[in-house]
Structure 1
Amino acid sequence: MSDPSAADCPLPADWPSLLGAVAACVDALGDPAFETHLLALLRDTARIEQCMIFAYDDEDGVDCLLAANERQPRMAGRLARLYTDGLFRHDPNYRGLRRAGDDAPRVGLAPMQAEAMTAAYRGHLFAFPDLVDKVALTLREAEVAYTLNLYRGRDTGPFSAADLAGLDAMAPLLASLIRRHYATARPASQQPSAEEAAVLAPLSERERQLCLFLLRGHTLKTAAAELDIALSTAETYRKRAYAKLGVPSKARLVALCRRDS
């Protein structure tokens, strides 16, 4: 796949019809409605059936930021949990991100790499939900990397060459939207919602503060800096908080707060 930042990358033939959806995404940056508009844009661009966005930090951690399956809505959350609970290590795109050097492209678009998938990864995340094709947009930042994973099922069929060309042309825009929406942490002074307060009630004050920073988009490193504590101390607070709440990751913490809401 060519570098999506290349100037000669052609836009989709019907790109004018996408401008309304793009504008809606821009208007909703930082708002929960952003994800609804992003999904609409992606469906208009390439008729996707499933979308996942994952964030990877430099501590070998992974969080699911968005999980949506149009045909089987409940399926998306289950697949995301399988991925964040360990199957992400079998993802060819994740392995590529880990091996990438400083000179690797900041944004890249990769089609499905079936030959590089383990049997467990393909069986749980493709055969079981009846998905037949995938294309991934990877975005590398200083402390975090993102992947936007787009899927097709049997009814829609694999991505065509035109679909891939359209996504290739849209890659810089999609990367910018994802970066701006998810990478900007919400203000530290923001008070917890009623749902967050209920979930975090069993924690100590410092554990609660750390979890709130994580819920607002901070990495463990930036949360430690905001709290003016050592990274090792932040790691201890996180470990204790997750043990008390019975969650193994930030993805589960976010899901717990959303479930109670």
Structure 2
Amino acid sequence: MSTDLQALFEAFGATVGKPAMSDAEFGETFRNMMSALVRFDYVVAFAYRGKERPIDLYSTFDPKEHIIFVTLYQAGPYLLDPFYHTAHARRTGVFRMRELAPDRFFSSEYYRTYYVQTGLAEEVGFFIAADSDTTIVLSLMRREKTGAFPAAEIALLKQVEPLVAKMARHYWSGLAARFDAQLNTGQQRGKKRGAKATALQPADAVWQDLNLTARETAIVDLVLQGHSSESIGLKLNISTGTVKVHRRNVYRKLGISSQTQLLSIYLKNFGATSEAHASPVSR
């Protein structure tokens, strides 16, 4: 598509003289700017910090879509999302999902049971390092019937990335305080329910009561993210055969025989630890 300069100038003009904007105001400004440059179906913006539940800053989903893209995502699947892991690594720039996904992502149980529900052909994200170890990710999504982003549009998004990053850091400053408030709210609710105090995030507590070793835990996390045994071996600097032995031991300990059952246990335990130690789903 051709660039709509008038729409772009109008969107950028909306920020002139405004020292601050609400989440919705800046989200709409970003959406209008991007609409002048490329074609897309959805926009969603999240803030990530460590393994904490992401903060939903802005999205354009209808209520039904919001359940899939937001509510279900924050219920646990975000920890298996390539975008989350890229944000957690504090990488910055514009990336396509296909660039970030592990080698078996599109055949993983996570993809088949959750991601496929989104009906997306492609997702492209602006990854922006913000304050206090927080990463902002603004995603543009295209449905299957719309198709993937052309190379020319990806190049254009990369060109505009420095401006988007500066604006996002300015209008979405102070996110650390919002994460702290979310964490404190979850801790207070946990105390009211009589939950045991813990220093662990729910993400770290998922496997703690299942008698898995640290190495086994690392391997099953990578399996669920969509890494093959070969990829896991390279990441952990162990042989493929050793990875397969650990996987067999995990399945034996858990009394399961498939990745489907492994994901089910993961989500069940994540839900239990989140209920005890974290704030309710809000995305």
TM-score range, shorter chain: 0.5 to 0.7
CA deviation profile, 1:91-130 (whole Å, cap 9, x unmatched): 1132233345xxx5xx311112275236344345542232
How far 1:77 moved relative to its partner?
A: 4.3
Structure 1 Cα separation of the partners of residues 16 and 192 of structure 2: 38
Structure 2 Cα separation of the partners of residues 95 and 78 of structure 1: 20
Larger Rg: 2
Q: Does 1:174 align with 2:177?
A: no
Q: Is the Cα–Cα contact under 8 Å of residues 75 and 281 in structure 2 kept in the other structure?
A: no
How far 1:132 moved relative to its partner?
A: 0.5
Aligned-residue sequence identity (percent) comes to 20
Residue of structure 1 aligned with 2:38, choices 46, 53, 57: 46
Residue of structure 2 aligned with 1:146, choices 104, 129, 136: 136
Q: Does 1:35 align with 2:20?
A: no
Q: Is the Cα–Cα contact under 8 Å of residues 109 and 136 in structure 1 kept in the other structure?
A: yes
Give the letter aligned to residue 279 of structure 2.
S
Distance 1:148 1:169, change over 3 A: same
Distance 1:156 1:237, change over 3 A: closer
Structure 2 Cα separation of the partners of residues 77 and 178 of structure 1: 25
How far 1:181 moved relative to its partner?
A: 1.8
Q: Which residue of 2 aligns with 1:219?
A: 179
Q: Which residue of 1 aligns with 2:97?
A: 112
How far 1:73 moved relative to its partner?
A: 5.4
How large is the RMSD of aligned CA atoms in angstroms? 3.3
Distance 1:99 1:129, change over 3 A: closer
Q: How does 1:80-99 map to 2 (within 5 A)?
A: 80-99=70-89
How far 1:62 moved relative to its partner?
A: 1.6
Distance 1:73 1:158, change over 3 A: farther
Q: Which residue of 2 aligns with 1:158?
A: 148
Secondary structure at the counterpart of residue 167 of structure 1: helix
Structure 1 Cα separation of the partners of residues 51 and 77 of structure 2: 16
Q: Does 1:131 align with 2:161?
A: no
Secondary structure at the counterpart of residue 136 of structure 1: strand
Q: Is the Cα–Cα contact under 8 Å of residues 62 and 84 in structure 1 kept in the other structure?
A: yes
How far 1:59 moved relative to its partner?
A: 5.0
Residue of structure 2 aligned with 1:75, choices 48, 62, 65: 65
Q: Does 1:249 align with 2:279?
A: yes
Secondary structure at the counterpart of residue 37 of structure 2: helix
CA deviation profile, 1:54-109 (whole Å, cap 9, x unmatched): 1112353322111213xx55303431112222111111132233345xxx5xx311
Q: Is the Cα–Cα contact under 8 Å of residues 25 and 38 in structure 1 kept in the other structure?
A: no
How far 1:235 moved relative to its partner?
A: 5.6
Gaps of 5+ in 2: 194-274
Q: Is the Cα–Cα contact under 8 Å of residues 52 and 148 in structure 1 kept in the other structure?
A: yes
Give the letter aligned to residue 45 of structure 2.
I
Residue of structure 2 aligned with 1:239, choices 184, 187, 192: 187
Q: Is the Cα–Cα contact under 8 Å of residues 54 and 65 in structure 1 kept in the other structure?
A: yes
Secondary structure at the counterpart of residue 124 of structure 2: strand
Q: Is the Cα–Cα contact under 8 Å of residues 137 and 148 in structure 1 kept in the other structure?
A: yes
Q: Is the Cα–Cα contact under 8 Å of residues 68 and 118 in structure 2 kept in the other structure?
A: no
Secondary structure at the counterpart of residue 240 of structure 1: helix
Q: Is the Cα–Cα contact under 8 Å of residues 64 and 84 in structure 1 kept in the other structure?
A: no
Q: Is the Cα–Cα contact under 8 Å of residues 126 and 132 in structure 1 kept in the other structure?
A: no
Give the letter aligned to residue 219 of structure 1.
F
Q: Is the Cα–Cα contact under 8 Å of residues 53 and 64 in structure 1 kept in the other structure?
A: yes
Secondary structure at the counterpart of residue 88 of structure 2: helix
Structure 2 Cα separation of the partners of residues 176 and 25 of structure 1: 12
TM-score, normalised relative to structure 2: 0.57
CA deviation profile, 1:106-157 (whole Å, cap 9, x unmatched): x311112275236344345542232101111111233311111111012321
